[in-house]
Amino acid sequence: MKKIKKDLQEQINLAELYDKLYSEANKDYDLSKLIVIPTGDLDADIKRTEKAMDYYLNFIQDNNKKPKIMVVGNIQRDKNGGLIKNSQQYNIYKNLRINYGLRPMDLRIEGNSNNTLENMLYLLDKIRNSQVKSIFISTNPSHYERFKLFEKEAKKEGIMKEDVEIYHIPTENKEPLLKKIKGEIAYLQDYFILKFTGSLNKARGFKHKKVKNLPYSP
């Protein structure tokens, strides 16, 4: 009985220590806010990173707290598992570290998604047990509309909490016509795939049949 009490006390002590360390490590952050940088082409990556960091710095100035930043998109690795230098993701991380002084603690990494739908699904998986309530996505307007489409469906399916909202950090106020048309075509494609398949994970499987479903797959 004494041993059980001792073991229990040790567990309580460890839990209290963990809680203290967690609180200390995150005292400078507003954990309810998350800035997301989706990877695209080189030009898009530059714009999305710049606008995201403008928002990030203004947020710190106004609130004296830092939001976390998440880069979403497939991380290209070599055969040993290391980041491939000069890949898109590598250059974004390098830019954030060198030009903006971000530390590893400031970043959250999602390195598996291959398209916007997967961006959303893996993002939701990452924040499932977190305090995140507001997600700010740095991208162009038509791309953002696709995230909003997936947000609506995710809440309908119950894989995204109702009190979590997605907001826009626009990389441009007015899209070039060709870019806007391409964005609208992509939106319609995603819309009809969702209607045809009936769920986000089935739509994901429709696009990439060999990719396994996430744990919350319906």
Q: Output the pLDDT for position 42.
A: 79
**Residue 216 contacts by C-beta under 8 Å, 6 or more apart in sequence?**
124, 125, 128, 159, 201
Cα–Cα distance measured from residue 44 to residue 55, given in angstroms and rounded to the nearest whole number: 16
| Most confident of the following: 5-9, 92-96, 122-126 | 122-126
- Partnered with residue 36 across adjacent β-strands are 70, 137
Task: Please check whether residue 201 is in contact with residue 214, taking contact to mean a CB–CB distance below 8 angstroms.
Answer: yes
Please name which of 96, 116, 109 lies closest in space to residue 187, comparing C-alpha atoms: 116
| Exposed e or buried b per residue across 55-74, where buried means at least 16 C-beta atoms within 10 angstroms of its C-beta | bbeebeeeeeebbbbbbbbb
Please name which of 150, 127, 128 lies closest in space to residue 139, comparing C-alpha atoms: 150
- Partnered with residue 71 across adjacent β-strands are 37, 109
Is 80 exceeded by the pLDDT of residue 143?
yes
Cα–Cα distance measured from residue 190 to residue 144, given in angstroms and rounded to the nearest whole number: 13
Residues 77-93, mean pLDDT to the nearest whole number = 77
Q: pLDDT digits over 122-132, tens only?
A: 999 999 989 99
Give pTM, 2 decimals: 0.83
* Domain formed by 28-174, architecture: 3-Layer(aba) Sandwich (3.40)
Residue that is written with structure tokens 């976390």 in the block: 68
Q: pLDDT digits over 171-217, tens only?
A: 998 899 999 999 999 999 999 999 999 999 899 887 655 444 444 43
